[in-house]
Each structure stands twice: as C-alpha cells, then as structure tokens.
Amino acid sequence: MAEVHVIGQIMGASGFSESSLFCKWGIHTGAAWKLLSGVREGQTQVDTPQIGDMAYWSHPIDLHFATKGLQGWPRLHFQVWSQDSFGRCQLAGYGFCHVPSSPGTHQLACPTWRPLGSWREQLARAFVGGGPQLLHGDTIYSGADRYRLHTAAGGTVHLEISLLLRNFDRYGVEC
Amino acid sequence: MATASPSVFLLMVNGQVESAQFPEYDDLYCKYCFVYGQDWAPTAGLEEGISQITSKSQDVRQALVWNFPIDVTFKSTNPYGWPQIVLSVYGPDVFGNDVVRGYGAVHVPFSPGRHKRTIPMFVPESTSKLQKFTSLCLVASSDLQAAPPTGDKW
C-alpha cells in the first residue's frame, strides 16, 4: 500500500475582524484511505495577538496514512472561532484546503467564509453576537448544496505542510 | 530497492538559536528541547540546553542575541513523530523572579539544506482578573508544568 505522511503546523490566522481566535481542524479522506498514526482532528488554543494582528497557534499536525487509491485525497478543513472576555464563542469562518500532492514543504493560505443570515440576524450578530452556523460540517469541504448559502468572507488560515510519499511509484503514480 | 524489514535513517540537525525580538521584555534566556515520537531516538549530541542571559542591544534593532548552538542526531524507522524543537524563554519580573516570557515549537525541517525559522511565542494568560492580580504578587505565574507534548495544546 502507498503511504503518505502529512507533517506540519497550522501557523495561525490573519485578516479576521476579531482577535482572540482558536481553530477547530479536521482532515477528511476517502474510503480507500486509512489513518495509521496521528489524530484526525483537534482544536488549537485561543490566541490573542500582542504584537501585530496575526493570531499564532503553531499547532502541530502529524498524520500517517496508508492508501489503496488516489480518490478522496485528504482535505484539511477548519472552523475559526473567536472567544470574547466573557468566554462566549462566535464563529469567525469556515475553510478547507486540499493537502498538497507533491512531496516537500508547502506554505498554504486557506481563505475562510462565514454564513450571513437575514438582515435581522446580521444586526443581532453586531450587537449581541452569535450568528448562523452550519448544521452539517461536511458542507465545509464538499460542494453539494452550497448554492443555498449566502456568505461573507472571513480572514485567512496559514499553514506550513510537508509531505512525504512512499511506494507511489510501485502503483505507477509519478510524484 | 524495496526492503521488507524496517530500515533505519538518521537525521542530523545542526544550527543555532540565533536571536529573538521581544519588545516588552529584557534580560532573557532560552531553553530548548526536542519532542519526538516513539520510533525516534537521539544518537548523538545534546537534546536539550539552556542559553546565556542576554540583554537588548542599545541600537534601534533592539535585538536579543543568543547565538546558542544546537547539535543533535536522531535515528528512526518512521517519519511519524518527526522531531519538534520546543523553545521556552524566561526573564525576570519586577521582583527579580524568573517568569516565563514565551513558549514556541516548530518541526525540524524536512529537507536537507539551510533553513531559517522564525517561531512565534506565546504565554498562557490567566483566566480571571483575580488570578492576574495575584500572579503579580506571588512568585508562581501561570506556568506549564512540562514542555507542551507533541500534538497537544492547552
């Protein structure tokens, strides 16, 4: 079986209007993929930038997959939330990006979006906080049913991901 | 050249903790250590160290220079658990006690060659205003008990 190592860091996020951000991340793969080592999802700490406006998490990612096919190449997905001084959490953005397919170190910048509600909900969000969220997390990384959503842009999640591939040439895949 | 049994590979890391930028603090020293998975073991060199205490330069750069050498070789059979270097920076507070000024970590680079990494540092924040106030008066600040392990964050 071919093996893929995804090793790197979720470095941080920039461009969000809120500070005090944390990120829930996960990785989604197709049915042919099996996770041999590592955790498939996690949540970073809450970071409040003291210098500049980029929130840094430096959250390590270390995953080892075995696969029988190329379909369902891993996708990392993120939910960025902000936490205020009272401990309330508010959604700041959803985003996803495919794990790169060439070996080496890659800098990824993943744009995010958040669902807008009706004008009443937008007004309520400005004053009280909260706001609409997705019911099913798989809308973040799949295109089905997206046409129903009206969204606004959030900030960008920055990652540095390195990829090590093994045994792909045995199956005729050049990388 | 497919091999049936696991093969051992070596990873040699040479470098230095060069310098730091901490606008608010001065007279800092740093400690480094390596965190790695179960399949990894250090074979040569030191896997942790404590640097000297350095003060900010008087010029406009305000740089804190350590120039502290890192020299370690690991051996492993599996890239999972690739070593991370964990840095902790400490400095004196108002009363002269050593307080943590930042923690940070980064993976050792994956490709051979010369790499430069800038590591953002963070400090745990007290969760309540009362704890913030008492930490000013008492010696112990909100400190982590051990270096953050791989894959876990507070």
CATH number, residue B121: 2.60.40
Query: Has residue B3 got a pLDDT over 70?
Result: no
Query: Which SS3 state, helix, strand or coil, does residue B101 take?
Result: strand
Tell whether A133 lies on the interface with B, counting CB pairs under 8 A: no
In one-letter notation, the amino acid at residue A34 is K
Mean pLDDT of chain B, nearest integer: 84
* Minimum distance, in Å, between the CA of residue B6 and any CA atom of chain A: 13
Determine the Cα–Cα distance for residues B151 and A39; give it in Å rounded to an integer: 8
Neighbours of A172 (CB within 10 A): 6
Size of interface A-B (CB pairs under 8 A): 65
**Nearest chain A CA: its distance from B67 CA (Å):** 23
CA atoms within 13 A on the CB side of A167: 14
Q: How far is A72 from chain B (nearest CA, A)?
A: 21
- Residues A92 and A115: their CA atoms lie apart, in Å, by 9
Q: Do B109 and A105 touch (CB under 8 A)?
A: yes
List, in order, residues 6 or more apart from A95 with CB less than 8 Å away: A77, A78, A80, A110, A111, A112, A113, A140, A154, A157
Ranked by mean pLDDT, the top range of A111-120, B30-39, B62-71 is: B30-39
Position B37 in a domain: yes
The answer to whether residue B6 neighbours chain A at the CB level (below 8 Å) is no
Residue B110: which domain range?
9-141
Identify whether B41 is part of a domain: yes
Q: Residue B151 and residue A38: Cβ atoms within 8 Å?
A: yes
pLDDT at B7: 85
- Supply B89's token pair: 């920076």
Residue B31 pLDDT: 95
Nearest by CB to A8, which of B107, B122, B125?
A: B107
Asked if residue B2 has pLDDT above 50, the reply is no
- B88 reaches A (C-beta below 8 A): no
**Under an 8 A CB cutoff, do B120 and A56 touch?**
yes
The answer to whether residues B147 and B33 touch, using CB atoms and an 8 Å cutoff, is yes
Q: What is the per-residue pLDDT across A88-97, written as a single tens digit (0 to 9) for each?
A: 999 999 999 9
Residue B104 near chain A (CB below 8 Å): yes
Contacts of A58 in chain B (CB under 8 A): 104-106, 119-120, 122
B139, pLDDT greater than 80: no
Among all residues of chain B, which has the CA nearest to that of A6? B80
| pLDDT, position B24 | 87
pLDDT band with cut points at 50, 70 and 90 for residue A146? confident
What is the percent of chain A with per-residue pLDDT over 70, rounded to a whole number?
100
Q: Give the whole-angstrom CA distance, residue B77 versus residue B5.
A: 10
Mean pLDDT on B61-67: 88
pLDDT level of residue B144 (50, 70, 90 thresholds): low
The pTM of this model reads 0.83
Mean pLDDT of A45-66: 92
Does a structural domain hold residue B4?
no
Average pLDDT over residues A37-53: 92
Within an 8 Å CB–CB cutoff, is residue A19 touching chain B? no
Q: Which residues of B touch A44 (CB under 8 A)?
A: 153
ipTM (interface pTM): 0.79
Give the angle subtended at the CA of B14 by the CAs of B9 and B18, to the nearest 5°. Answer: 145
Residue B61 lies in a domain: yes
Q: Do B82 and A9 touch (CB under 8 A)?
A: no
Domains of chain A: 1-169 (2.60.40.150)
For residue B103, the chain A residue with the least C-alpha distance is A58
In a domain, B3, yes or no: no
- Is residue A148 predicted with pLDDT exceeding 90? no
Q: Do B81 and A62 touch (CB under 8 A)?
A: yes
Per-residue pLDDT for B145 more than 80? no
CB contact under 8 A, A58 and B107: no
Please give the share of chain A, as a percent, with pLDDT higher than 90: 65
Inform me whether the pLDDT recorded for A29 exceeds 80.
Answer: yes
A142 at the B interface (CB within 8 A)?
A: no
Query: Do A42 and B151 count as a contact with CB atoms less than 8 A apart?
Result: yes
Please list every residue in chain B whose beta carbon sits closer than 8 Å to the beta carbon of residue A51: 23
Mean pLDDT across the stretch B83-112? 93
- With cut-offs at 50, 70 and 90, classify the pLDDT of residue B133: confident
**B154 touching A (Cβ < 8 Å):** yes
pLDDT at B147: 46
State how far Cα A68 lies from the chain centre.
25
CA angle centred on B106, ends B100 and B110, rounded to 5°: 160
Q: What total of structural domains would you count in chain B?
A: 1
Q: Which residue has the tokens 């929130």?
A: A55
Tell me what the mean pLDDT of segment B59-83 comes to: 91
Query: Is residue B1, in this structure, part of any structural domain at all?
Result: no
What average pLDDT is seen over chain A? 92
